[in-house]
Chains A and B, each alone.
Chain A
Amino acid sequence: MHLGLLLSGPLGWLAVAYLGSLVVLFISAFWQLDEFSGEIVKEPTFDNFRLLWENDVYRTIAFRTIGIAGLVTVTDAILAFPIAFYMARVASPRVRGLLVVGVLMPLWASYLVKVYAWRVILSEDGILNWALGPLGIHGPGFGFVATWLVFSYLWLPYMILPVYAGLERIPDSMIDASGDLGGRPGLTFRRVIFPLAFPAVVAGSIFTFSLTLGDYITPQLVSSTQFIGNVVYANVGVANNLPLAAAFATVPVFVMIVYLLGARRLGAFEAL
């Protein structure tokens, strides 16, 4: 088979069409919207970026978005460990297979339906308030906490699966050696298992972080809090300021590039 022919299709699509589109996005971030005519002026200026940096509202939104992405990532890493550890090191092969499918299925179940389900659960008359009511507790309702909870729910399987794979790859001999040298389970976990599984956690965090960074549906459905995605979407649609939207959309790209470079240093790509 001819290599050039094989590569022409996928590279034509991904390198020309997709990377080309990213370049267009980047260039259009420097365009301007003419305030009177509403037409796009295709002359490069830094005005969009200056506005995003100098305007308190946009800056807060950018940091809030990065903040929640980090928060969700840490939450998912903590939630993922027990089940991933059970799957990798305790469960029998049959149970392990069932659990992998059990975690995989919710990952693939319709994204929007999962967000909608939480909207129903968290609503005033929802099942959460009904369940907590007798205890005298009121659920979080819609807002930042709801956004954090729903994001953590949505991306949890993306964290469990790599962490499970990472824990499974640890050779038994390492753990046995730690035990033979007198390490108690707690110490073995802290000093042997966790460091060896850490690249897998970073690998999972690429998904949890990136997916949170670019989402605008979840915040819109379970809060009135604004994130980068909401501003971008509003400027493509209602406000019709495409250059500003493009400028704000470059922020997650740069954050992700920095994040991916850091993840590579931590060995995450070998753990994927």
Chain B
Amino acid sequence: MQLSGPSKWLLRLGTALTLAFLYIPLLVIAIYAFNSTRVQKWPPVGLTFDWFSRALHNPGVREALWTSVKAGLGATAVALVLGTMASIAVARFRFFGREAVSFLVVLPIALPGIVTGMALNSTFTQVLGVSLGLWTIVIGHATFCIVVVFNNVVARLRRTSTSFEEASADLGANAIQTFRYVLFPLLRSALVAGALLAFALSFDEIIVTTFTAGQEETLPIWIFANLSRPRQLPIVNVVAVLAIILSLIPVWIAQRITAEPVAAGAARAEAGGEAGA
């Protein structure tokens, strides 16, 4: 579409304002992390790196970070296995209820967090009678992390031809050998990307976590609990910045791993479409 000069500039302005809106809050917290006083008044009066070392030596922060890492790794491992199984079933087989499987995978993130949290909480405490702890956090997180692995792997499987797997079977490989030597290498980067995103999702989650954690404290729960303690806020600021960085690193890497093949694949599909026409 031919846009006039002024409307192009208006769109540019709108884009710039939206990006500013998205990033300013994150920047404000990053600046407060270096604030030399305990009082959160704008503008900050001085700069210090003190809070970083204090936060890193805070036993509560360390313990919460470790709990978050354990929960994230556990949930990622479960999501990786179940997500891969579901994606191969959906992308490589035709069966009654295939759509239902895709729907079921998405459901835990499509439903509001309190619903998933409440449902798991009722089941754990009322039906199974188990005490809440790290295991229940892992179960809750894995449930909504499956979709991330599933989406990445399904997208990859749809782009790869089944002829490799067929050739492997023709040459006498059994299902496990075909997965190990043919499918797995094709899926590797999609699996890594899915795992990184699943970890990031788990690392940040708080709503389902508050219903399944019991006495355990993950990093978001630690932040939440300390928001009401004014003396702790400088340390909260530092932890907040670390939480942003720790959740963005996996996403950034995942983006780098998958972006290029996706873009290249799309470009190729477009070129093919044009050639065909």
Contact = CB atoms under 8 A, between A and B. Distances in A.
A105 B253 CA distance: 12
A110 B126 contact: no
B211 A236 contact: yes
A94 to B, nearest CB: 11
B227 A119 contact: yes
Interface residues of A, number: 87
A21 B122 contact: yes
A232 B118 contact: yes
A214 interface: yes
Interface in A1-53: 1-3, 6-7, 9-11, 13-15, 17-22, 24-25, 28, 40
Interface stretch (B46-54, B86-94, B186-194): B86-94
A175 B114 contact: no
A2 to B, nearest CB: 7
B69 interface: no
Interface stretch (A55-63, A140-148, A194-202, A244-252): A244-252
A3 B95 contact: yes
B171 interface: no
Contacts of A10: 82-83, 85-86, 89, 101, 105, 146
Nearest to A31: B126
Interface residues of B, number: 90
A70 B34 CA distance: 38
Contacts of B125: 242
Contacts of A206: 110
Contacts, number: 256
Interface string B108-125: 101111111011111101
B114 A217 contact: no
Given A10-B101, A121-B25, A153-B25, A233 B210 contact: yes
B40 A120 contact: yes
Contacts of B206: 111-112, 217
Chain A interface SS verdict (over half)? helix
A105 B122 contact: no
Nearest to B12: A86
Contacts of B247: 108-110
A157 interface: yes
Given A109-B244, A236-B118, A103 B22 contact: yes
B107 interface: yes
Contacts of A246: 118, 122
A90 B23 CA distance: 22
A77 to B, nearest CB: 13
Contacts of B268: none
A10 B147 CA distance: 11
B40 to A, nearest CB: 6
A6 B40 contact: no
B4 interface: yes
Contacts of B197: 108
A4 to B, nearest CB: 9
Given A116-B240, A172-B1, 19 more contacts: A2-B175, A6-B85, A6-B88, A18-B104, A22-B119, A102-B19, A106-B22, A110-B220, A110-B243, A111-B220, A112-B243, A120-B32, A120-B40, A153-B21, A236-B121, A242-B122, A242-B126, A252-B112, A253-B111
